[in-house]
Structure 1
């Protein structure tokens, strides 16, 4: 978190003295640096108990190098569960949920540290790197029967599974990202970046990637049939992702089942005992009906 705070301070200092055309060099780290938090003792133990493997993905966006992406397996069950974390998070942040799911001996659980997150290579990241890393982990470990994603990881799962033409038995989305560009704008506005400098950054994004960040809209990315068993957990008080975005998405996809964990918080929701119990039950029922 210390580095992210320094990035924000540098942006705020530059805002007061720079031409908007000169801001992009600082805005890329502001948008693309995922903060890292150290492992807690129980998380270290969880990873020590895992079977570790790694995949390699190219990074044409920041380092122009190959990145080693670390992933983890627990259990030997016939049904695979993929867990994809959110921005600035890591596989071990699902320690409570993974521990709960491991009581089901029919499961094998796979989780990864996305590029620039946890123990994996990289310092800057983006959705494309998250998606490519997730696809590589699926290729190495097998197609998931159940896919669980939190926040940025929920959007990652939707994009990665769609590109692989994989439809899981159960998709679980926890506090999912809905509109990526709006999140960029929110972060830049919070740092005091002018509308002109923001627009310059969005145009630079399009120039680099050949696509506008507005393309990453969950409503457009979501191409699953209505018969997909999709369960979505959210907090209508989520301060990170405005509930209005989620409700608009749900109106377009009424087949998605939802549960509101009011007051759980965007980051803390994955630590909720109530959510952990509900996810375990959703998994049990989905596999019983398989």
Structure 2
């Protein structure tokens, strides 16, 4: 988190003036994923897991294969895949994973996406999150339940679409719906001028060969492959504004939703009521 604040302050100090230094910093501002240390309780949970390492290809930043780390608890036949959000890691789900371990006949798989937690590199993106989830599915089999938080919820949708799997249950917690608007909010907070933002998005389109506006849930959501989707949100979420969520839900009224007031975008994954509801859904 300290490095992210440094990058943010450096961008603000340039006062929106278009320079090579500023353009380079903007890529770090948007794609550097802050890393927080693992707490003792979290490390104890990781120590109980069977650790594994897989690879994905990073075609845009590293232009090489990246290793990422994952963790497995249990040997049951019912698989649960947990995908964390931006600037997070598998260990941040310690409360939920500990509770899931109490369910019979389950195997829980979580991972640190490339550029996050204990995994390689510093820069990350949605594509790498989704590729990591896809690599796990291809290696360990189709999960019966997929749980995703924030960016991880969108990554799960992309992975389902890319693999054509049909999970029994998809659970999304405070999902990001419109990545471009999240980028704009970050750039605005750093006082980046509209002209420089336009240059950033033009560079984005050239690098990824797609527009930032394509990174929205509406365009990646594999409706025909999802049998049941349960979605938890905080009506006052500032990171994933409820207006974008409502527009998405209006397109997909079959999605079951539940509001958890005053939980916060990140803290919600530790909430006792949410965890109890997830256990009931899976059980």
> Are the equivalent residues in 1 in contact too, given 2:166–2:226 (CA < 8 A)?
no
Match of 2:87 in 1: 88
Q: Offset at 1:15?
A: 2.2
Q: Offset at 1:57?
A: 1.1
Q: CA deviation digits over 1:51-96, x for unaligned, max 9?
A: 0111011222222222111011001111000000000000010000
> Are the equivalent residues in 1 in contact too, given 2:165–2:225 (CA < 8 A)?
no
From the superposition, tell whether residues 251 and 24 of structure 1 become closer, same or farther in structure 2 (CA, over 3 Å). Answer: same
Listed as ranges, the gaps of 5+ residues in structure 2 are none
> Are the equivalent residues in 2 in contact too, given 1:113–1:120 (CA < 8 A)?
yes
Alignment root-mean-square deviation, CA: 1.2
Q: Distance in 1 between matches of 2:71 and 2:139?
A: 11
> Are the equivalent residues in 1 in contact too, given 2:160–2:222 (CA < 8 A)?
no
Match of 2:210 in 1: 211
User: In the TM superposition, what are the counterparts of 1:215-226 in structure 2 within 5 Å?
Assistant: 215-225=214-224
SS in 1 for 2:223: coil
Match of 1:50 in 2: 49
Match of 1:258 in 2: 257
TM-score by length of 1: 0.95
> Are the equivalent residues in 2 in contact too, given 1:31–1:187 (CA < 8 A)?
yes
SS in 2 for 1:58: strand
Q: Offset at 1:223?
A: 2.3
SS in 2 for 1:129: helix
Match of 1:108 in 2: 107
Q: Distance in 1 between matches of 2:152 and 2:103?
A: 23
Q: Distance in 2 between matches of 1:171 and 1:34?
A: 25
Q: Offset at 1:22?
A: 6.0
Report the more deviating stretch, 54-63 or 226-235: 226-235
> Are the equivalent residues in 2 in contact too, given 1:75–1:108 (CA < 8 A)?
yes
Q: Distance in 2 between matches of 1:155 and 1:60?
A: 20
Q: CA deviation digits over 1:197-221, x for unaligned, max 9?
A: 1111011000011000100110121
Matched, 1:8 2:8: yes
Q: Distance in 2 between matches of 1:22 and 1:98?
A: 42
Aligned residues: 283
Q: Distance in 1 between matches of 2:226 and 2:207?
A: 37
Match of 2:22 in 1: 23
